[in-house]
Amino acid sequence: MGCGGNATALQDQTSLASHELAETITDPEIGLVTGFTYAFPAGWGDNNNNCGEIADICDDGSPGSTITVAGRAWVVQPFWSNRMRACVSSEPARPSSTISWANPSPITYGTPLSSVQLNASAGVTGTFVYSPVAGAVLPAGPQTLSVQFTPDDPANYTLSSATATLQVNQATPVITWPTPPPIGLGTPLTGAQLNASANVPGTFVYIPPSGTVPPLGVQTLGVQFSPSDTTNYRSTSASVTLQVNLPPSSLTGVSVTASGLAYSRVSQMFIGTVTVRNISATTIAGPLEILFATLPSGVTLVNATGALGGLPYLTWPGAGLAPGQSATVSVQFRNPGNVQINCTPVIYSGSF
């Protein structure tokens, strides 16, 4: 047939194959009857031959034709078919709601998630569901946060999701270590001084260790703490100061004198004596310990009996000093720097 200018879905077709019969259309033109309002899709039939519907007219051929079904607009495909109700319609693509969510700033382990991190936004109104949820405490390391967004207008916008990366840094344990009270020279370090604690389980390593006898003066005690949970906590350290004093001497009724030091070329030492005299009215029990607490740097007491907290001492082994009696000990110093040797010994009754 010579279908002409009517813009129908059957335009320029010369024959149609029906589901009931095949016929040749010889009409000069197939068109829509004017004066009627058509709702597409429509059916085309041959009532004269009792054929019923021959085909479907899906639309009028206009680009972007739509039909409304159940209150929803659908784009209709412009074609004809030899099957009844064969018009194809498709739902127009709904735009997805765009989520904006920048990677949050790093946090420290132990910080619960809040709106500071869970702060995604969208260009339309809707509901955000986060995973993990607010209040969750994440382990240290890079963590992935996710969100599912449900728009309030689901007819025109689809669900959307997004992710963000959050860096969770290791936490630093809190060490509590009060400054210990002063100790006397010669006192070894114990748990009384090495008593740091932390807010998480772990291991303490002290420097110097327990049992060390610190020298005279202000000393620094240190500790290295290694947490048991090395994933979420980092190692840390702390320090305190400890005052080490001379042990108190109860001897008040004594006088101490020293002879001049003579240099021996043979021994290359300075040799002299120290004399302790009991000027009290009571006997001083022996032995006596003569502690050299203020020797200049580099000077050594070669004939020292021992050392107390790094300070040399000499022992006078007698049983005691009656009132008016004296005890004399020899001193031998090596002085490689040729410095002046000034020293005031401290006298103790009894052994160190």
Mean of pLDDT values over 25-50? 52
End-to-end Cα, the chain, rounded Å? 132
pLDDT value at residue 50: 53
Mean pLDDT, to the nearest integer, of 129-134?
A: 98
Kindly report the number of other CB atoms within 10 A of residue 83's CB atom: 13
d(CA 14, CA 2): 7
Evaluate if residue 105 carries a pLDDT over 60: yes
Identify the pLDDT of residue 44: 55
* C-alpha–C-alpha distance, residues 64 and 76, integer Å: 7
172-209 pLDDT tens trace = 999 999 999 999 988 999 999 999 999 999 999 999 99
Query: Mean pLDDT of all residues in the chain?
Result: 82
Is residue 33's pLDDT more than 90? no
| More confident position, 19 or 32 | 32
User: What is the mean pLDDT of the segment spanning 228-237?
Assistant: 98
Q: In terms of pLDDT, which residue wins out, 69 or 152?
A: 152
Residue 293: per-residue pLDDT? 85
**Tens digit of each residue's pLDDT (9 = 90 or more) over 272-294:** 999 999 999 999 999 999 999 88
**pLDDT grade for 249, boundaries at 50, 70 and 90:** confident
Report residue 326 as tokens. 């004296």
What's the pLDDT at 85?
A: 47
What sign does the CA torsion over 14, 17, 18, 20 have? positive
DSSP at 246: P
Confidence at residue 237, expressed as pLDDT on a 0 to 100 scale? 98
Cα–Cα distance measured from residue 301 to residue 292, given in angstroms and rounded to the nearest whole number? 9
Which stretch of 148-162, 248-262, 276-290 has the lowest confidence by average pLDDT?
248-262
Instruction: Show the DSSP H helices in 301-349 as ranges.
Output: none
Lowest mean pLDDT among 5-14, 85-94, 248-257: 5-14
At 268 the three-state DSSP class reads coil
At 44-55, the pLDDT tens digits run: 555 555 545 555
Task: Answer yes or no: are the C-beta atoms of 276 and 316 closer than 8 Å.
Answer: yes
Q: Percent helix, strand, coil in the chain (nearest 5)?
A: 0, 45, 55
**Per-residue confidence band for 122, with pLDDT thresholds at 50, 70 and 90:** very high
Mean pLDDT of 66-93: 49
